[in-house]
Amino acid sequence: MIGWAIRRLGQSLLVVLLMTLVVFIGLNAIGNPMDILVGEDLNQAERLAAIAHLGLDKPLWQQYLLFLKGAVQGNLGQSFVYHEDAMRLILQRLPATFELAFCALLLAIVLGVPLGMFAGTYPDHPLSKILMASSIVGFSLPAFWVALMMIMLFSIKLGWLPASGRGETRELFGIQWSFLTLDGLQHLILPALNLALFKISLVLRLTRAGVREVLPQEYVKFARAKGLSPVRVMCMHVMRNTMIPLVTVLAMELGSTIAYAVVTESIFAWPGAGKLILDSINMLDRPVVVAYLMVVVVIFVVLNLIVDGLYYVLDPRVRAQVKP
């Protein structure tokens, strides 16, 4: 177990290192940030001084080593635009993005799992057929367009829900959260639902497929024959075995939800990391882009590790493989 964990951890660190290289080289190919940051009225000497100040005069490999050294210390440079620590900027905005992504995932589970269980248990019921058809539409819906339509319907026409910003926030553990106030919750509903649409379809289909695969198994018949109540069979025997693929996909989906929040945040003016990164790409604010990418890469790698760990807990077969 420990050897396995160390090997997994080593692989993960290698991926992170590789991504720093890719991100760094890729971003250095994007135009010269000096053209945007420095006004044209500067003379040559002032220009060179500014370049030296930002460390852009050193050769690329030296810049990369300096960047790596800084990254290990959690320092990814100053934002060219905000003149603040890039890492701190990202971390300040990250809770808002996390809040949105978690709510979206929660919605996907709360709606997708029961509906998927229903569609899997009664595959010929008309409601199941409607659910499956709508899940194809759910997969196909362009999320950004749905977001606009939601704003038009619920905010402009009906005036039920606000369409931009986080609303009133309250502090918990030194971080501002929207879900703790009524106003904040109202602001959260539309963006979270928008981000969740695709996931609801995904969870529904996965749960249905899992239930349909598990139901004809011998152990389910045996559990029924033992006289266990249908609810108990469903929860203890069917769901436990359906959970395994679901957990993997959901953990990975959390990562992609954070990434896709870029779109949702920019439409609903949700002040999270996604909106920051979009602005930073447009302004060629290299350190912020790099910091964001590094944070997302680390989140992904950590999620991957957690998934493997969960596999270990949920699936006795994996435990049996790893132990010897």
CA distances from 253 to 101, 111, 200, 232 (A): 9, 16, 11, 29
Closest CA to 285 of 96, 101, 115, 81: 81
Q: Which is nearer to another protein, 129 or 317 (CB)?
A: 129
Span near another protein by CB under 8 A; candidates 110-118, 145-153, 209-217, 231-239 = 145-153
Closest CA to 295 of 21, 8, 87, 27: 87
Decide if 192 contacts 270 (C-beta within 8 A).
Answer: no
Q: Where is 235: in which H helix or E strand?
A: none
> Can you list the pairs that 315-318 forms with residues at least 24 positions away whose Cβ atoms lie under 8 Å?
315/244
Size of the site for another protein (CB under 8 A): 40
Span near another protein by CB under 8 A; candidates 58-66, 77-85, 108-116, 261-269 = 261-269
Among 72, 156, 158, 320, binds another protein (CB under 8 A): 156
Span near another protein by CB under 8 A; candidates 52-60, 186-194, 222-230, 296-304 = 296-304
Q: Which is nearer to another protein, 25 or 110 (CB)?
A: 25
Taking CB under 8 A as the rule, which mask of x and - marks residues 6-25 in contact with another protein?
---------x--x----x--
CB proximity list for 150: less than 8 A, separation 6 or greater: 190, 193, 194
Q: Which is nearer to another protein, 27 or 314 (CB)?
A: 27
Compute how many other C-beta atoms are within 10 angstroms of the C-beta atom of residue 242: 25
Answer yes or no whether residue 139 interacts with another protein by CB under 8 A. yes
Query: Maximum Cα–Cα distance for the chain, whole Å?
Result: 87
Decide if 209 contacts 136 (C-beta within 8 A).
Answer: no
**In the complex, minimum distance from the CB of residue 84 to another protein, in angstroms, rounded to a whole number:** 21
Answer yes or no whether residue 44 interacts with another protein by CB under 8 A. no
Answer yes or no whether residue 102 interacts with another protein by CB under 8 A. no
Instruction: In whole angstroms, give the CA distance from residue 287 to residue 23.
Output: 11
Answer yes or no whether residue 37 interacts with another protein by CB under 8 A. no
Among 30, 127, 172, 269, binds another protein (CB under 8 A): 30
- DSSP letter at 79 equals -
Answer yes or no whether residue 172 interacts with another protein by CB under 8 A. no
**Residue 202: half-sphere exposure toward Cβ, Cα within 13 Å:** 22
DSSP helix/strand/coil, 43: coil
Answer yes or no whether residue 145 interacts with another protein by CB under 8 A. yes
Taking CB under 8 A as the rule, which mask of x and - marks residues 196-225 in contact with another protein?
------------------------------
What tokens does 168 get?
Answer: 């009133």
Decide if 198 contacts 138 (C-beta within 8 A).
Answer: yes
Answer yes or no whether residue 278 interacts with another protein by CB under 8 A. yes
**In the complex, minimum distance from the CB of residue 300 to another protein, in angstroms, rounded to a whole number:** 7
Instruction: In whole angstroms, give the CA distance from residue 279 to residue 81.
Output: 10
Q: Return the beta strands (E) in 120-277 as ranges.
A: 170-172, 175-177
Q: Which is nearer to another protein, 234 or 296 (CB)?
A: 296
Among 77, 95, 120, 255, binds another protein (CB under 8 A): 255
Answer yes or no whether residue 190 interacts with another protein by CB under 8 A. no
Q: Where do contacts with another protein occur on this chain (CB under 8 A)?
A: 15, 18, 23, 26-27, 29-30, 133, 136-137, 139-145, 148-149, 151-152, 156, 255-256, 259-260, 262-263, 266-267, 277-278, 281-282, 289, 293, 296-297, 300, 304
